[in-house]
Structure 1
Amino acid sequence: MAKLTDKQMIFANEYLVDLNATRAYKKAYPNVKKDSAARANASKLLTKANIKNYIDEQLKKIEDESIANATEVMKYLTAVMRNELKEEVVVVEGEGEGCSSARIVKKDISAKDRNKAAELLGKRYRLFVDKVESDSNVNVNSTKKLDSILEQLGEDEE
Structure 2
Amino acid sequence: MNELNVKQQTFVDEYIKSGNAYQSAIKAGYSEKYAKARSHKLLENVGIKSAIDKRMEELKKEAIADQDEILRYLTSVIRGEITDQELIPIQVGRGEMEVEELEKRSDTNARTKAAELLGKRYRMWTDKVEAEVITPTFINDVPADD
TM-score clears 0.5? yes
Contact kept, 8 Å, 1:25 with 1:41, in 2: the verdict is no
Deviation at 1:130, TM superposition (A): 4.3
1:91 corresponds, among 88, 93, 99, to: 88
- Structure showing greater Rg: 1
**Alignment-derived partner of residue 119 in structure 1:** 116
The Cα of 1:132 is off from its aligned counterpart by: 6.5
* Aligned position for 1:106: 103
Q: Which amino acid aligns with 1:38?
A: A
Root-mean-square deviation (CA, aligned residues, Å) is: 2.5
1:71 equivalent to 2:68? Answer yes
Taking structure 1 as the reference length, what is the TM-score of the superposition? Answer: 0.75
Identity between Structure 1 and Structure 2 (%): 38
**Structure 1 residue runs of 4 or more that deviate by more than 3 Å after TM superposition:** 130-134
- Number of residue pairs the alignment of both structures matches: 138
The structure in which a higher percent of residues are helix is 1
Partner of 1:78: helix, strand, or coil?
Answer: helix
Q: Is the 8 A contact 1:91 1:102 kept in 2?
A: yes
- Spell out, residue by residue over 1:1-56, the C-alpha distance to the aligned partner (whole angstroms, 9 max, x if none): 11111111111111111222222111012642x6xx52442211001111000110
Amino acid at match of 1:75: R
Task: Tell me: CA distance 1:42–1:31, structure 2 relative to 1, closer, same or farther (3 Å).
Answer: closer
**What is the alpha-carbon distance in structure 1 between the residues aligned to residue 37 and residue 99 of structure 2?**
54
| Distance in 2 between residues matched to 1:121 and 1:65, nearest whole Å | 23
The normalised TM-score by structure 2 is 0.81
Are the counterparts in 2 of residues 21 and 39 from structure 1 also a CA contact under 8 Å?
no
Return 5+ residue gaps in structure 1 as ranges: 135-139, 143-158
Describe the shift of the 1:111–1:38 C-alpha distance in structure 2 as closer, same or farther (beyond 3 A).
same
Q: Give unpaired runs (5+ residues) of structure 2.
A: 139-146
